[in-house]
Amino acid sequence: MKRLEGKIAVITGAATGIGQATATLFAEEGATVLAADVNEEALHKTVSTILENGHKAEAFLVDVADEDSVQHFATRLEKTYGKIDVLFNNAGIDAPGGKVHEYSTELFDRIVAVDLRGTFLVSKYLIPLMLADGGSIINTSSMSGRAADLDRSGYNAAKGGVTNFTKAAAIDYGRQGIRVNSISPGTIETPLVDSVAGARDDEQGKSFRDANTWVTPLGRLGTPREIAQLVLFLASDDSSFITGEDITIDGGIMAYTWPGKMLFEKGWK
């Protein structure tokens, strides 16, 4: 039997990258996928592909940083579906902004609005659709929520907030049978990486990927499908006794006490 057979699953940030891969996998595993994003063209392409493959999906244009947009989304879901079983809060943005004293307030606020406040808003308005029957919520955090990056204090703050918000929600709703976990991906080959570091055929993008490949014990970047497999596990009954956890999926980067130590290891390539 498929692991999400008969389940109704909401995915934000579903148009590209990890969200797209998860929407595709969830549909293959029997879920009705309710895909939400602000990128209308890419969103409809993702949903059209799912439908063409004989699975169930519907597209919703939603800005997770806009409370009215999220409320309207929740109202539509309640009227059409009555409930949901799985929520994957995946929508997120990132951008380098310089050191803290150089970082623009506008950029900081925008990243927090989408990555952290958006996770809160979608949870706030969609959790009522899970209270009767329980379910699973998965939030996308980041290894950048566990440790800091240069010039990305807004992203670090937002993702650190997502990790701890996840724990708060897990405590709030455990008795209602709602499990809440977060995932912390490492460097994954997605359009977000393109926007932050440059495309694969761009000199800056290639340098970024080479550096991240070098620092990763498994010696490569992750794929969206690999992240989707973890999200599927957390969405399914296979993880029925897991809640309040943040699971790192980064090829081993966070296992180091000090990644720079490899500079002094002659055998490290």
Residue numbers annotated as active site: 155
**What is the distance between the terminal CA atoms of the chain, rounded to a whole angstrom?**
44
The tokens for 29 are 């595993």
Q: Is the CB of residue 185 less than 8 Å from the CB of residue 226? A: no
Give the DSSP letter of residue 246. E
Place of tokens 């708060």: 168
Measured between alpha carbons, how far is 150 from 186 in angstroms, rounded to an integer?
15
The tokens for 4 are 């999400």
The tokens for 108 are 């900081």
Measured between alpha carbons, how far is 267 from 269 in angstroms, rounded to an integer?
6
Measured from the Cβ of residue 78, the count of other Cβ atoms closer than 10 Å reads 15
Measured between alpha carbons, how far is 13 from 90 in angstroms, rounded to an integer?
5
Place of tokens 């990927």: 209
Q: Is the CB of residue 168 less than 8 Å from the CB of residue 123? A: no
Identity at 152, one-letter amino acid code: R
Q: Is the CB of residue 92 less than 8 Å from the CB of residue 115? A: yes
Measured between alpha carbons, how far is 127 from 121 in angstroms, rounded to an integer?
10
The tokens for 240 are 């029925």
